[in-house]
Amino acid sequence: MGMTMTQKILAQAAGLPSVQAGQLVEGSLSLVLGNDITTPVAITEFDKAGLTQVFDRDKIAIVLDHYTPCKDIAAARLCAKARDFAKRFSITNFFDVGQVGVEHALIPEKGLAAPGEVIIGADSHTCTYGALGAFSTGVGSTDMAAGMATGKLWFKVPSAIRVELTGKLSPYVSGKDVILHLIGRIGVDGALYQSLEFTGEGVASLEMDDRFTICNMAIEAGAKNGIFPVDDKTREYLKGRVARAWTAFTADDDAAYTQVVTIDLSALEPTVSLPHLPSNTKTVTEVAGTPIQQVVIGSCTNGRIKDLREAAAILKGRKVADGVRCIVIPATQEIVRQCMAEGLAEIFLDAGCAFSTPTCGPCLGGHMGVLADGERCVSTTNRNFVGRMGPTNSEIILASPAVAAASAVRGCVADPRAL
């Protein structure tokens, strides 16, 4: 029986010639990641277990991004604990205010993820790095502690769903629409503990930022990970970022899949997810006109430069509607610089947007965008659960940067093609 891309990566990490779905393997880790919420918990477990050393200070990354710049005393204490640990063990890849970015945009930008690697992170959206042909997945803080100490972790080898992509995206349609469409089709548990393996001639037409967005939200379909094949666009992205050796894996022709889902990219329309599940999808035309009070453009899902260019193209020469707050958050410091250099920051400010330093804040209702009772937000983030961004009677509509920007201008859910 042949192996999928993910199965081949786990076989290599475990030092085995082959693995099969359901098998338990102990794999070597390429990177262990944590943030300002999950790392302090991992540190507590690390110290409680009497651990006194990390397996490799160069293969641990700590990114203070969720509540930073610190929103309150509790957040400041969490960050202080992470700083102390990073100093204690001379952690090479420690990112604090001024150098920080939203972790799942920062890690690939810094060249800390590469094809064929095994990456764990104490954050569920660690599956983002599958866009580079890596196996990356979220774990709990206890597993993060064990990973930091030993450089190994046990995995149950997942089965896989093959997502066959055909055609090319139309204008104003992006990777966010692809993944929302897929989640709408298979449901929030449709890929439970499986790999989502994206293949087909349509892959070549997707930019890397689209692929990061798609893999980022694999977890929203219940997937263990999402993964793309390594192609010329991947190699171009890695150039100048990753100097170490890496291995690109391809699935065997006779690899087994639990199902095959075909998506014609050219047939997709701008898509949104209505409250309170990512699977509650509609085309934007079906819900256009729904009133809103806030728009958030950013996050680990859609805070990259392509996302912000798409939003700026719509906001240029226009104004945010009265009664709507539009918050734009570039995902890393480098993206902030790009926005300034390309004039995007000026476009956002001229339109009446708030333009922020990198942070996860609004996505989890942390800060810099918390909703009030009864308010509704169009957001480029990844989850719209009850109470995610504010009170339980507030609402989140997930959307692409293009739809979010158009909605900010119209003051209601809007189709960017209709502006």
Q: Considering its fold, how many domains does the chain have in total?
A: 2
- Distance in angstroms (rounded) separating the CA atoms of residues 255 and 87: 45
pLDDT digits (tens, 9 = 90+) for 347-400: 999 999 999 999 999 999 889 999 999 999 999 999 999 999 999 999 999 999
Say what percent of the chain tops pLDDT 70.
100
pLDDT at 108 over 90: yes
Q: How far apart are CA 160 and CA 182, in angstroms?
A: 15
Do the beta carbons of residue 137 and residue 191 sit within 8 Å?
no
- Verify that 238 and 288 share a domain, yes or no: no
Domain range spanning residue 139? 5-263
> Do 229 and 345 share a domain, yes or no?
no
Clarify whether residues 240 and 284 are in a common domain. no
Backbone angles phi, psi at 160, to 5 degrees: -145, 150
Whether 331 shows a pLDDT value over 90: the answer reads yes
Statement to judge: residues 121 and 88 lie in one domain? yes
Residue 68 near residue 97, CB atoms below 8 Å: yes
Angle at 182 between CA 180 and CA 185, to 5 degrees: 110
Domain-ending residue, one of 242, 263, 284: 263
Measured in degrees and rounded to the nearest 5, phi and psi for residue 119 equal: -125, 130
The encoded tokens of residue 302 equal 């859609």
Same domain, 338 and 284: yes
Tokens 């990777």 — which residue?
175
263, 283, 303: which is the final residue of a domain? 263
> What is the sign, positive or negative, of the torsion defined by CA atoms of 301, 306, 307, 308?
positive
Mean pLDDT of the chain: 96
pLDDT at 1: 77
- Looking at the fold, whether 249 and 329 belong to one and the same domain comes out as no
- What the block records as the tokens of 121 is 């992170």
Domain final position from 241, 263, 285:
263
The pLDDT value recorded for residue 73 is 95
**Do 195 and 62 reside in the same domain of the chain?**
yes
**Same domain? 168 vs 284:** no
At 226-243, the pLDDT tens digits run 999 999 999 999 999 999
Same domain, 251 and 288: no
Indicate if 256 and 387 belong to the same structural domain. no
Within this chain, do residues 221 and 294 fall inside the same structural domain, yes or no? no
Distances (CA, A) of 380 to 260, 307, 383: 27, 9, 9
pLDDT above 80 (res 304): yes
Contact in structure between 227 and 135 (CB atoms under 8 Å): yes
Residue 123 sits in a domain whose CATH number is 3.30.499.10
Q: Which residue has the tokens 């504010």?
A: 390
Whether 194 and 69 share a structural domain: yes
The dihedral formed by the CA atoms of 382, 384, 388 and 393, expressed in degrees to the nearest 10: 160
The helix or strand, by DSSP H or E, that contains position 177, with its residue range, turns out to be helix 175-186
